[in-house]
Structure 1
């Protein structure tokens, strides 16, 4: 873009539009990331150019409230798109307009809410200006949407997004806008070429000079219609993004505290506060290990106890509880305390060496012996024989 201070307002405008098309429709949209400093610096330069152009347009009063599009000079009509260009630029702008040299790595959404609010205002000014041009620019549906806003430059989310709740009519509107947009893009190819090939050092290379003024005027009006379709679509995106950003949790920036001059990396021990470094234990070859430093810091874990021998046994022991008596000793202990009973020996085997021959027989054995003696004294049948004698 030429930096000559002798440019006319028309030359400056065409150079700005040429750069605008290069950023949003050219190869730079693929090469540069939108959140890169290079891309944002281009937007910042274009915003500055279009703002200065808008100031001149307002100062010269190129557009009057009581003038229709047919009464406006053909060469003035392209300047009506200035607010639309600013709206698109602010939609994609991530920096602060007054301090555009801020690094994006801090918070890329820090100024987003402010910028899209400005973009919303620019699109509404653009659409209301087109509505003032008469019925030849905006269609009936677009005029109805603008008239439904209670506050002209501050419509609500529902007024913009939910204007038509009928799904059938909304779908038909989108199809109609798509067809119209495709038709207008075809008609405006010559205008896009006009801006791409423009060179402020050679005004003779003006392809629009070969057309009749009425045809050129219709081309400029078609451009306004195309940008009006884009403006309504961008307004819907903006109000939805505002709603998302308004619910975004606030990010608190932690202030950087000045470093304590008493702290330095060369010191062997930091005795004044928290340190992420591991604390080193005293050397093993020291006879007396310090448990607490002079500043009260614990150097190694310790336990206060009165039973040193018990701790010594735990330290130098096996780490397990070992048995303190044999199995035989344990059984004797259990028997002595009545926790176990001796098993009675029944039916000891005959011929045992420990058997005592003088032991008294049991009652059962004695009864058996008496029975055997009685049978010997009273043989079988002896009683009947005595009864039959005689």
Structure 2
């Protein structure tokens, strides 16, 4: 099966306006540490996403990551003909700039939600494209892209659109279920591996580096850590974000579809309301007034003053009964008559015959006597080994 070829990583995060880089006077390493610290703060925050302070931190995080992206392009950290094996361990972490910005972008509360989701989708695409150029995407992820996400003519990832040959595989319920289970187990294993690597690096920290435990980049910037451990930590982190990015792209696509459907319903409702208002404007104003059922029916000169209905003589009694009758339906039969009908329909159980006679125990039946003895013995043993009240949940359900 042919694998999916991702587009070239676009420059999704635009360069800061003016002389943003010199204004901040921070290096790429310091700016990335700041952006990642803000990202971690948002992930661990107990504030609501609509909180002004949360939104302020999110905007600041995106601005910091935007400057990081600009510095990466300006310094030429990554080359188009390089793979992950050719990149320095300290520079691999900068592949995460776009995915950090994408996840932060989805937390923004803006007036145009669809535009925000589209920007986040482009950032996820840029991250996956960069990983593909670095040969970090494995075959499972590429197969998942083939079955669930394909590249259209505009070089954008379109979740949920599959080719005809792949649609049967993607829509097979059993295959989709097994795929979800496998991806869940893989993500769980990746998180466990990441936690283990962080623990190993923390144990290798120098004594004078213990005060940097609260630093968000302490794992990557630990001078006492082994180079292979740091590289494995970075690649494992990238692999984890690859898995979450694939799922996030599908979620973004579904949310954008819901927003499009909502806009369509709103526009159709607005057009229907305007059409109804136009029809009401063409109606006779007298016909829209409420009918007055009070006052005389005719004037002294015989002019009809209000609408009325001529009822046939045979129906007048029924109309009067409906006006002056009870407010509920009266019974049509007595209780005894109803019970007799139910008995005829067989809705009542009757009879049953005499109760069965109890069989007197036979003293000569040794098997029955032994069974009774064993049963009594087992009950005694159960009471001996089971304390009184054991298993009582005290009404906890």
TM-score tier by shorter-chain length is 0.5 to 0.7
1:4-23 Cα deviation digits (max 9, x unpaired): 94432111211221221121
Structure ranking higher in helix proportion: 2
Greater Cα radius of gyration, structure 1 or 2: 1
* In structure 1, distance between residues paired with 2:105 and 2:142: 25
Task: List aligned pairs for 1:248-287, cutoff 5 A.
Answer: 248-249=262-263
Structure 1 residue 89 displacement after superposition: 1.2
Q: 1:166 aligns with which of 169, 172, 182?
A: 172
Match of 1:233 in 2: 247
Structure 1 residue 230 displacement after superposition: 0.5
**How many matched pairs?**
234
Match of 1:150 in 2: 152
Give the SS at the match of 2:171.
coil
Structure 1 residue 142 displacement after superposition: 1.4
Residues 196, 13 of structure 1: alpha-carbon distance in 2 compared, 3 angstrom cutoff: farther
Q: Is the 8 A contact 1:69 1:133 kept in 2?
A: yes
Q: Is the 8 A contact 1:91 1:116 kept in 2?
A: yes
Residues 246, 212 of structure 1: alpha-carbon distance in 2 compared, 3 angstrom cutoff: same
- Are 2:55 and 1:40 equivalent residues in the alignment? yes
Q: 1:56 aligns with which of 71, 81, 90?
A: 71
Task: List aligned pairs for 1:1-390, cutoff 5 A.
Answer: 5-24=24-43, 26=44, 28=45, 31-95=46-110, 110-134=111-135, 137-146=136-145, 148-151=150-153, 152-155=155-158, 157-159=160-162, 164-189=170-195, 191=198, 197-198=214-215, 208-249=222-263
> TM-score, length-normalised on structure 1?
0.53
Structure 1 residue 37 displacement after superposition: 2.1
Give the SS at the match of 1:155.
strand
* In structure 2, distance between residues paired with 1:166 and 1:74: 41
Structure 1 residue 183 displacement after superposition: 2.0
Give the SS at the match of 2:49.
coil
Give the SS at the match of 1:185.
helix
Structure 1 residue 80 displacement after superposition: 0.3
* In structure 1, distance between residues paired with 2:220 and 2:132: 30
* In structure 2, distance between residues paired with 1:164 and 1:20: 34
Give the SS at the match of 1:125.
helix
Structure 1 residue 157 displacement after superposition: 3.5
Q: Is the 8 A contact 2:32 2:68 kept in 1?
A: yes
Residues 17, 239 of structure 1: alpha-carbon distance in 2 compared, 3 angstrom cutoff: same
Q: Which runs of 5+ in 1 are unaligned?
A: 96-109, 253-302, 308-390
Q: Is the 8 A contact 1:33 1:39 kept in 2?
A: yes
Give the SS at the match of 1:86.
helix
* In structure 2, distance between residues paired with 1:213 and 1:91: 34
> TM-score, length-normalised on structure 2?
0.52
* In structure 1, distance between residues paired with 2:151 and 2:299: 86
